[in-house]
Amino acid sequence: MKRILYVTSEAVPFIKTGGLADVAGSLPKCFNKEEYDVRVILPKYMCMSEEWKSKMNYVTHFYMDLAWRSQYVGVLEMEYEGVQFYFIDNEYYFAGSKPYGNIYQDIEKFAFFSKAALSALPLIGFQPDIVHCHDWQTGLIPVLLKDKFHEGEFFKDMKSVITIHNLKFQGVWDVKTVRDITGLPAYYFTPDKLEAYGDANYLKGGIVYADAITTVSDTYAEEIKTPFYGEGLDGLMRARANSLRGIVNGIDYDVFNPETDPMIEHHYNVRNFRKEKIKNKRALQRELGLEQNDSTFMVGIVSRLTDQKGFDLIAHMMDEICQNDIQVVVLGTGEEKYENMFRHFAWKYQGKVSANIFYSEALSHKVYASCDAFLMPSLFEPCGLSQLMSLRYGTVPIVRETGGLKDTVVPYNEYEGTGTGFSFANYNAHEMYFTLQYAMNTFYNKKREWNKLIDRGMAADFSWNSSARKYQELYDWL
Ligand code: ADP
Ligand code: GLC
């Protein structure tokens, strides 16, 4: 039996700000239970819903040194869908209305979490063979495993894996403060270890010290070795290329299932979507105050509203897009300029554009189930889950060919009758617009072809099956 510990700053259903939570919450239950004991540890944030907090059981508590102080570490646990979850409790660090806040606070918060997660293991009696870390928040763990923790018998042979979900966020702060917080000796703060461009860099530490590195698609694994996508660490990614591999994300096929999803009004499947899916579109048009029209091409966007997702291309073309017979439904929060941009267009094109500037799991499912197409013209995209959800719900993705979008959406070829979506190569507003028009023309003028695109998309398999096997191979190899 192999024992694996996932250390993550978010996981569904407990807390989510983006795709990392979907992955860390749904992947652990997809391993063969006879062979792999996979458990998950994450912070117990005060902003988690009472529903979950009330179900957690106290395990133990202890005090741990950090930043010259002795800090309380509580450990709680809960089993969910057959997976053991542990929660690290500290009301000072994990207060606040969101998991992440100012970077200078987060730097200390996740040093605390990383050290506490390891320190708790002997007390809860779980000795993993492999600690699987996710993103910069847990980047210190491979470093700690090679440092202090290495001395004790308990941690001596523990291996670590780090998965990069987004290279853009690295956890960067000045060396002196990070040394004070972590207590790590000066030895680690050189450019071949934790230091990058004069500062301390958590993710870099994780990448340097982990026994294996993965990222969430093959294309992104290649892209991050180049300066454009490398976020200043492309040299390191090239240096560690032998230990780096891409494993594409899946989604939870039980949660995202148009036949059973309790969050959508009308259920459907690959056989009856032609008649049934439209009922969701009608319901959404009614709910959002859009013009009631079955035949209008409806495009959805569910996203963090950031530059990463290509919103400057959309901002540039929005007026032109709205000259067409089209409806645009947006669900997202993020940068104020994009929130206001969509509010503006919703005001300007009433009945055509719906701007929902908030977070709602339920509305997101309705958008995936109701729209004809889904727009995701990302500047970069390590994997992307929204396009997978769209494919699952028979909503045709329109994407830029980068990262996981390139690996999961097969471009429509009208001559061969193949493909599951529409895509374009260059980060260019007009290229995006022409691709959107091409999709729209196919929708309006070649309905049979359009429906076959949906057939193929819904038949594609983006459950965790094959990717979980690849993680198993990696664990076995380690
Ligand atoms: P990223 O992790 O970069 O944000 P992904 O496509 O991997 O992008 O995952 C985004 C996840 O967050 C998806 O599950 C998507 O449905 C969800 N999501 C994003 N914004 C919202 C929102 N405003 N309301 C509900 N779900 C959202
Ligand atoms: C990150 C990436 C996204 C990916 C997700 C889960 O948030 O931006 O592309 O799907 O992590 O791996």
Taking only the tens place, the pLDDT of each residue in 153-186 is 999 999 999 999 999 999 999 999 999 999 999 9
Instruction: Give dist(CA 252, CA 25) in Å, integer.
Output: 9
259 pLDDT more than 90: yes
Diameter of the chain measured on Cα atoms: 69
What band does 150 get if pLDDT is binned at 50, 70 and 90? confident
Please give the number of the atom of ligand 1 that sits closest to the Cα of 358: 23
Cα(287) to centroid(ligand 2), Å: 29
Q: What mean pLDDT do residues 34-46 have?
A: 97
Q: What mean pLDDT do residues 280-303 have?
A: 98
The per-residue pLDDT for 478 is 94
The per-residue pLDDT for 229 is 98
- Contact in structure between 43 and 7 (CB atoms under 8 Å): no
Q: What percent of the chain has pLDDT over 70?
A: 100
Q: What mean pLDDT do residues 431-440 have?
A: 98
68 pLDDT more than 90: no
Cα(18) to centroid(ligand 1), Å: 5
The per-residue pLDDT for 110 is 98
60 pLDDT more than 90: yes
Q: What mean pLDDT do residues 219-224 have?
A: 98
- Contact in structure between 404 and 462 (CB atoms under 8 Å): no
474 pLDDT more than 90: yes
Hunting for tokens 């320190």 — which residue is that?
119
67 pLDDT more than 90: no
Cβ–ligand 1 distance for 304 under 6 Å, the answer: yes
Long-range Cβ contact pairs of 82-86 (< 8 A, separation 24 or more) = 82/29, 82/33, 83/28, 83/29, 83/38, 83/39, 83/40, 84/39, 84/40, 85/11, 85/14, 85/39, 85/40, 85/41, 85/42, 86/39, 86/40, 86/41, 86/42, 86/59, 86/120, 86/124
Please give the number of the atom of ligand 2 that sits closest to the Cα of 404: 9
Cα(314) to centroid(ligand 2), Å: 20
152 pLDDT more than 90: no
Q: What mean pLDDT do residues 20-40 have?
A: 97
Cα(179) to centroid(ligand 1), Å: 34
367 pLDDT more than 90: yes
The per-residue pLDDT for 148 is 81
Please give the number of the atom of ligand 2 that sits closest to the Cα of 168: 8
Cα(148) to centroid(ligand 1), Å: 37
13 pLDDT more than 90: yes
The per-residue pLDDT for 53 is 98
- Contact in structure between 328 and 352 (CB atoms under 8 Å): yes
Q: What mean pLDDT do residues 317-346 have?
A: 98
pLDDT in tens, 394-416: 999 999 999 999 999 999 999 99
- Contact in structure between 379 and 308 (CB atoms under 8 Å): yes
Please give the number of the atom of ligand 2 that sits closest to the Cα of 18: 7
The residue to mutate among 385, 386, 405, 471, having the most atoms of ligand 2 within 8 angstroms of its beta carbon, is 385
What band does 151 get if pLDDT is binned at 50, 70 and 90? confident
User: How does the average pLDDT of the chain come out, rounded?
Assistant: 97
The per-residue pLDDT for 235 is 98
What band does 310 get if pLDDT is binned at 50, 70 and 90? very high
The per-residue pLDDT for 171 is 98
Q: Which residue has the least CA distance to atom 18 on ligand 1?
A: 303
Instruction: Give dist(CA 330, CA 353) in Å, integer.
Output: 8
pTM for this model (two decimals) = 0.97
- Contact in structure between 276 and 268 (CB atoms under 8 Å): yes
Q: Closest ligand to 248 CA?
A: 2
Q: Closest ligand to 388 CA?
A: 1
